[in-house]
Amino acid sequence: MTPAKTLREPAEIRYAEELSALAAIDEAPKPSGWNLSPRAVRTFILGSDGKTLGSKSKKKTGTVISQKFYGDDALIDRAIITLAGNRGLMLVGEPGTAKSMLSELLAAAISGNSKNTIQGTAGTTEDQIKYSWNYALLLSQGASLQALVASPIFTAMKDGKLVRFEEITRCPPEIQDALVSILSDKVLHIPELGDETGTVFAQKGFNVIATANLRDRGVHEMSSALKRRFNFETVEPIRNKTLELQLVMAQTQALLTDAEATIELDMNVIDLLVTTFHDLREGRTEEGTIVEKPSTVMSTAEAVSVGVSAGLDARYFGNSVVESEHIVRNLVGTVLKDNPEDAKKLKHYFDVVVKSRARTKPEWEAFYHARKWLK
Amino acid sequence: MRHSTEIQTLLQALLRSSEQEKIIYFPIRHHSPACAWHIQQLIRAEKPAAVLIEGPSDITELIPFILHAKTRAPFAVYTTYIPAKVADETLRSDPHRFAGYYPFCDYSPELVALREGAKVKANLQFIDLTFTDQARESETNSQIRDLQQESYLQRSKYISLLIKKSGCRNHDELWDHLFESSFLTLETTQFIHNVAAYCYMARQDSPTKLLQSDGTIARETAMAMAIQAARSQITGKILVVTGGFHTVALPSMVQQSLKEPTRPKKNPLEESQTVLMRYSFEQLDAINGYAAGMPAPEYYQRIWQSIQTYNSQSDHPFLTVTNEWLVDISAQTRSHRHMSGLSTADAIAALEQSRRLAQFRGHPAPLREDLLDGVRSCFVKGAMDADGLLVMEFVAGLLRGDRIGDLPVDVGVPPIVDDFRKQATRFRLQIQTSIAKSVTLDLYRKANHRRISRFLHRLQFLSIPFGSVITGPDFVKGRGLDRIQEIWEYRWTPQTESVLIERSLYGSTIEEAAIHQIQTEIDHLEEHGKGRSATEAIAMVIQACCMGMQHHAQYILTLIANQISEDSAFDSLIAAMNQLVLLWQSREPLEAQTLETIPELILMLYQRSCYLIPDLVNSPIEAANAILDGFCTVRELVQTQAQLDSELFLSALANLSNAASSNPVISGGAAGILYTSGSLDRPQVIALAIGYLNSSQVRVGAEFLRGLLRTCREIAWNVSELLVAIDEQLSTWDEASFLGILPELRLAFAEFTPQETDKIAEAVQICMAKPIWATLITLS
């Protein structure tokens, strides 16, 4: 593999250095099957607060662990403890709240492998959850372990690892329910192989991290039987605007650098973007004006994507300086996804909120003048 | 480094005091079972001759009642101070009142110290300044306070860093993490040192100037002097129980020679009292926003009970209690109507989760937040902001509990009754007889009358049988607003006082009880807000103003703001806007001048209704009249209220009138308003009208005309081209379609006054003289 060409590397490769540094100094007790102790997993996700790693008996490693998840620290505690226990972990929340990222980080830290993943869709079948067959081999040799095509869950059980199930509610409920008995009995039966080889007992370290959306279109209900086998954790959008501003700024910059577009990002322009997102998401501005929330999710991830497209827009069609008109132009595609009502809401926001801010603040004035791109 | 040596000195001082000298300083956090338990152990072991407790010194007199066999916690010491009135006081405003609560529950270290101290026959004494002196010393103005507040600890930078570092969410969790978790295995001296070191660090962030200005130094001086006095009078050990924040300052102060500061003599006109009153866990729970509080009292009550029966063989009390709670919660959900029941398996999973979390966080057994995290993980089956809210609220309610204390009968008249008698006497209302009386109040001219009115309104709001309004302006229902006098009939009966005693739990004055009641209704409004209209909330604002509770009215107004954002009915928005304008106009008798957000809210309502205008194009034809009236109201408001941006309204109307319309009446109305405001000029409005009149559906033209004439009557006689256009259209209709359209046309012209009809007739005469037109006019 040539890393430079890969669009996005899995977490265990991106953070390989941090993970090995953590493993080197990790002295806290580990649940069996885990690569790191719960405490080290927590540090991996929440960062080492700018300090270099070290422990009492070992030397300093010189590595600083970056903070990767912002928001509720206690949620991380609960998530890690859940994974060490009997029940699966179900991460729910609005799109764009970094559920999948969190699941990836947990899998990378605990099992050293985040690629063991089922991507749930309406077309996911039970074969993809349990196992299927290499039919050529099946026909020539009969049922055997060689002819069996293992699913990510199969592999995880056998090796005692974590398996990620993304977007579980997009699968029809009857398919989701294939997990019910696996999660309670921790065993997978393969009747075709007979008693001896046909029973896969989950090894210690096995568990499931599922992510789900409960309120989007095209998602299914979950049965109570399945819900019982998971602990639910809700991942919330970032409520602190300053933190969100820093995050959007840093991530936009990083993604633009990745895309080989060197761009001047002005904090004030990004502030326009983040404030707009914040106001529309909360339905209330800093001044207390109530605005209509669009039906589109105004997540931090969306703000970053607007920032990146605005940057690319400025790079290829402008003079490499992101200005408010680039933000407005790219805002349209984000806010106005499918609901024509949202166009009205955005326009109302500009007419009422942006207009009144434009009277006192010059950067908002430019933003207001760019409203012509709203159509 | 400087701090570490200072701490050492301090700790040695505490230590030396306990070993060589006879004074033991015990730093506490109010309502901490860990502190209570260690005090219990200490008193049993050391058998002090005196126990000195932080708390207004006049509580000392109440100790026999506190220790009375019939007294049950929770109860509170309630103390008030009303400064003497200024000489030229003309009853212009309520006197500035100060009131403080000092709540006790079974696990309050102070109460435990009293109970245990009484058992070893110690001399019991409260040593803080009286509330009156505290109120004088302090420059702050808050009216009702918690006398056990820990704002210094909460503001401390050291503690906020510690919170962040230890991964806790708030100060309560940090305290539990540091102190409640491990106290059972610690020696009492070690426990005292830990608490003292923590408070010492927290105190470093409080500038002396601040401590001086809010009276902390004065209080500590008084406490230190009381300790000095006790030291010289009492032989035997002395235990000093104070909030840890003060404890760290006391030892060195006691060593110094202190001088009694000169205090002003008691003014015979000022009033103060210190009494016991019943208290409830509901009031004690900090989450409910009461002044004196701490979270989850029932939870800690159970912890306390469990510690009392603890021995080294039994499980850790926190573990026992967590187990009990989880079983209890899951059992209670099964009998709860709106919740999906949780199974025993869920309770087991939650207990396991809590225990593992506790282990992960380094606690010997699950603490309160570990318990709650177990609930969050295992009992919530869905998103936290949907299913989770219900579960967490339910659990918070259980952990809060509904325990209410009790007091012996001979404690005296409850303060609320006293308050009632005093106010009634001040307002010269007859309460010596039970004969009905009446009183006439001039609301506009006399401030004192307004105050009497408020007093009576509050009693009525609390459903206390006393007075009722005979006549007067009803601001809530908007009736009789032309009246300037309010006539009340009132009658004192024994029931008046017995109902007051029932209400005494919710406050020690009528004002407090009314505040509590309105708070409850606000909570109700918040919970069920979505189903209700903004109009109802505004009625509550006016009610609050009638009772002189402008501050709460302000709070309700902020709630209304949320409702506005959800209200999608144009006419209810307009009604709310009208009500608010009314409230703003009658702000004088209601003293609503302080409600500064009303104009803002009017603006918000205006913006929201403008936002809805373009959608009205598809509203049913029956709703048209109400909508057009709404347009006219908005037009008037835009003209009279300068802060409303008329451009917003006009551009919304322009959008409406440009859209393909299924309701021509509304399009006509919009065109009328646009024409009067000058947004449409004469040829444009004529073109629009001709377009509608020429429509293939005959009805559409007449309906447009009805809307147009409703919002812009003068166009009928000022714009002759319109008449010509109508005339041309009329001539194209045959008899049948004319008869079909006649009722609608008649409706369009029916609202004109006789003079206006004459004007139209004249205009018709000038531009043409066709008999059919004249007939039409006579018809209407």
Helix, strand, or coil here: B479? strand
Distance from CA of A55 to the nearest CA of B (A): 17
Rounded to two decimals, the pTM is 0.74
Which of B167, B360, B378 lies nearest to residue A73, judging by beta carbons?
Answer: B167
Which pair of tokens denotes residue B432? 């010596």
Residues of B with CB below 8 A from A38's CB? 360
Going from N- to C-terminal start, the domains of chain B cover: 2-279, 322-395, 413-511, 664-780
Cβ separation B382–A39 shorter than 8 A: no
If asked whether residues A291 and A357 sit together in one domain, one would say yes
Q: Would you say residue A200 lies in a domain?
A: yes
Confidence of residue A208 (pLDDT cuts 50, 70, 90): very high
Phi, psi dihedral angles at B238 (to 5 degrees): -120, 125
Q: What is the DSSP string of B741-753?
A: HHHHHHHHHHT--
The pLDDT-based confidence of A2 (bands split at 50, 70, 90) is very low
Structure tokens at B230: 């006790």
- Residues whose CB falls within 8 Å of the CB of residue A139, separated by 6 or more in sequence, listed in order: none
Q: What pLDDT sits at residue B114?
A: 94
DSSP A27: -
- What angle (nearest 5°) sits at the alpha carbon of residue A211, between those of residues A208 and A213? 150
Question: The complex's ipTM?
Answer: 0.82
Tokens 């850790």 correspond to B316
Task: Match 């609220």 to its residue by tokens.
Answer: B393
Find the CB nearest A85 among B352, B561, B614.
B352
Token pair for residue A243? 């933190």
Listed residue (B260, B222, B11) closest to B126, CA to CA: B222
**Residue B93 banded pLDDT, cuts 50, 70, 90:** very low
Domain stops at, among A234, A267, A299: A234
pLDDT confidence bin for B87, thresholds 50/70/90: very low
Which range has the worst mean pLDDT, B18-32, B522-536, B552-566? B522-536
Whose structure tokens read 């005093």? B422
User: In a mutagenesis test of the A interface, which of B381, B391, B557 is the best target, namely the one with the most A β-carbons within 10 Å?
Assistant: B381
Distance from CA of B555 to the nearest CA of A (A): 14
| pLDDT band with cut points at 50, 70 and 90 for residue B289 | very low
| Contact between residue B80 and residue B131 where contact means Cβ atoms under 8 Å apart | yes
Q: Note whether B85 and B269 are within 8 A (CB).
A: yes
Contact B661, B616 (CB under 8 A): no
Mean pLDDT of B57-84: 85
Residues of chain A with Cβ-Cβ distance to B561 below 8 Å are 288, 290
Indicate the helix (H) or strand (E) that contains B102: strand B98-104
Q: In the prediction, which pLDDT does B373 show?
A: 93
pLDDT of residue B293: 56
Residues B255 and B374: their CA atoms lie apart, in Å, by: 49
Q: pLDDT tens for residues B188-233?
A: 888 988 898 888 888 888 888 888 887 888 889 999 999 989 888 8
Chain A: residue whose CA lies nearest to B389: A234
Note whether residue A1 is domain-resident: no
Which domain, by its residues, includes A366? 241-374
Chain A environment of B340 (Cβ under 8 Å): 224
CB B649 within 8 A of CB B638: yes
Which chain B positions have a beta carbon within 8 Å of A290's beta carbon? 561-562, 564-565, 604, 608
Indicate the range of A203-212, A267-276, B80-89, B733-742 predicted with least confidence. Answer: B80-89
Last residue within a domain, chosen from A191, A208, A234: A234
Which of chain B's residues have a Cβ under 8 Å away from the Cβ of A228? Answer: 343, 345-346, 381
Looking at the fold, whether A93 and A168 belong to one and the same domain comes out as yes
Average pLDDT over residues B1-19: 64
Q: Which of B352, B380, B614 sits opposite A232 (nearest CB)?
A: B380
A3/A13 Cα distance (integer angstroms): 9
**Of A76-80, B652-656, B693-697, highest mean pLDDT:** A76-80
Which residues of B are less than 8 Å from A344 in CB distance? 611, 614
Contact B357 A81 (CB under 8 A): yes
What is d(CA B76, CA B101) in angstroms, rounded to the nearest whole number?
6
* Range of lowest pLDDT (A99-108, A331-340, B521-530): B521-530
Are both A228 and A259 inside the same structural domain? no
pLDDT digits (tens, 9 = 90+) for B496-519: 877 787 677 677 788 888 887 887
Q: What's the pLDDT at B3?
A: 67
pLDDT surpasses 80 at A62: no
Rg, Å, chain B Cα set = 36
Does residue B486 register a pLDDT over 50? yes
Contacts of B384-388 with C-beta under 8 Å, sequence gap 24+, read: B384/A232, B384/A233, B384/A234, B384/A236, B385/A234, B385/A236, B386/A214, B388/A232, B388/A234
Distance CA(B523)–CA(B216), nearest Å, equals 35
CA angle B122, B128, B131 (to 5 degrees): 130
Confidence grade of residue B19 (pLDDT, cut at 50, 70, 90): very low
Answer whether A234 sits within 8 Å of B349, measured CB to CB.
no
Using the Cβ of B599 and the Cβ atoms of chain A, whether some distance falls under 8 Å is answered with no
Residue A32 lies in a domain: no
Q: What is the mean pLDDT of residues A148-171?
A: 93
φ, ψ (nearest 5 deg) of residue B256: -80, 165
What the block records as the tokens of A19 is 């993970």
> Which residue of B176, B380, B384, B617 is the best one to mutate when testing the A interface, meaning the one whose CB has the most A CBs within 10 A?
B384
pLDDT tens figures, A110-127: 999 999 999 999 999 998
Task: Decide: B738 and B769 in contact? Cβ < 8 Å.
Answer: no
Mean predicted lDDT score pLDDT of chain B = 82
Q: What is the mean pLDDT of residues B8-31?
A: 73
**Residue A255 and residue A147 share a domain:** no
Instruction: List pLDDT tens digits, range B589-630.
Output: 777 777 777 888 888 888 888 888 888 877 888 888 888 888
The strand pair at B144-146 and B98-104 is best described as: parallel
Residue type at B41 in one-letter notation: Q
Q: Which of residues 707-736 of B touch A (CB under 8 A)?
A: none
What is the DSSP annotation of B682-745?
HHHHHHHHHHHHT-SSHHHHHHHHHHHHHH-TTHHHH-HHHHHHHHHHHHHS-HHHHHHHHHHH
Q: Which residues pair with A207 in a beta bridge?
A: A162
Q: Which of B353, B361, B648 sits opposite A351 (nearest CB)?
A: B648
Percentage of chain B surpassing pLDDT 90? 15
Which residue, chain included where needed, has tokens 């209900």?
A221
What pLDDT is stored for residue A115 in this prediction? 92
pLDDT at B145: 58
Between CA A136 and CA A148 the distance in angstroms is: 11
The more confidently predicted of residues A359 and B527 is A359
CB atoms A87 and B380 under 8 Å: no
Choosing from A215, A234, A253, the residue where a domain stops is A234
Any A CB within 8 A of B166 CB: no
Q: How many beta-carbon pairs under 8 angstroms link A with B?
A: 95
Using one digit for the tens of pLDDT, what is the confidence trace for B665-679?
A: 888 888 888 888 888
Residue A24 forms part of a structural domain: no
Which chain B residue shows the shortest CA-CA distance from A348? B611
Domain count of the fold of chain A: 2
Which tens digits make up the pLDDT trace of B431-476? 877 788 889 988 888 888 888 998 999 998 888 889 888 888 887 7
Cβ contact B522:B496 at 8 Å? no
Residues 6+ apart with CB under 8 A from A90: A168, A210, A211, A212, A227, A230, A231, A232, A233
| Contacts for A141 with CB less than 8 Å, ≥ 6 apart | A147
CB contact under 8 A, A77 and B373: yes
Q: Are the C-beta atoms of B728 and B685 separated by less than 8 Å?
A: no
Rg of chain A, C-alpha, whole Å: 24
Q: Do B73 and B405 meet the contact criterion of CB atoms below 8 Å apart?
A: yes
Asked if B368 has any chain A CB less than 8 Å from its own CB, the reply is no
- SS3 assignment, position B476: coil
Rounded to the nearest angstrom, the minimum Cα separation between B187 and chain A is 28
Q: What percent of chain A is modeled with pLDDT above 70? A: 96
User: H/E/C letters for each residue in B169-228?
Assistant: CCHHHHHHHHHHCCHHHCCHHHHHHHHHHHHHHHHCCCCHHHHHHCCHHHHHHHHHHHHH
DSSP B71: -
* Confidence at residue B89, expressed as pLDDT on a 0 to 100 scale: 37
Rounded mean pLDDT of A223-250?
A: 87
3-state secondary structure of B493: coil
Nearest Cα neighbor of B139 from B205, B222, B220, B210 is B210
pLDDT at B20 over 90: no
Of the residues A235, A290, A339, the best mutation for testing chain B's interface (the one with the most B CB atoms within 10 Å of its CB) is: A290
Residue A292 lies in a domain: yes
Interface contact A82-B383, CB threshold 8 A: no
Burial of residue B121, with CB atoms counted within 10 A of its CB: 0-12 exposed, 13-18 middle, 19 or more buried? exposed
Looking at the structure, tell me whether residues A208 and A271 fall in a common domain: no
CATH code, domain carrying A194: 3.40.50.300
The CA distance from B197 to the nearest CA of chain A, in Å, is 25
Q: Which chain B residues contact residue A39 at CB under 8 A?
A: 360
Q: What's the confidence (pLDDT) of residue B91?
A: 33
pLDDT at B778: 52
- Cα torsion A28, A33, A35, A38: sign: negative
- Specify the 3-state DSSP secondary structure of B488: strand
When scoring B356, B618, B648 by the number of chain A Cβ atoms within 10 A, the one with the most, hence best to mutate, is B356
The answer to whether the Cβ–Cβ distance between A74 and B169 falls below 8 Å is yes
B704's CB contacts (< 8 A; 6+ apart) are: B664, B665, B667, B668, B671, B689, B692, B693
**Residue at B523: amino acid letter:** D
Q: Residue A169: how many CB atoms within 10 A of its CB?
A: 22
Task: Name the pLDDT band for B334 (thresholds 50, 70, 90).
Answer: confident
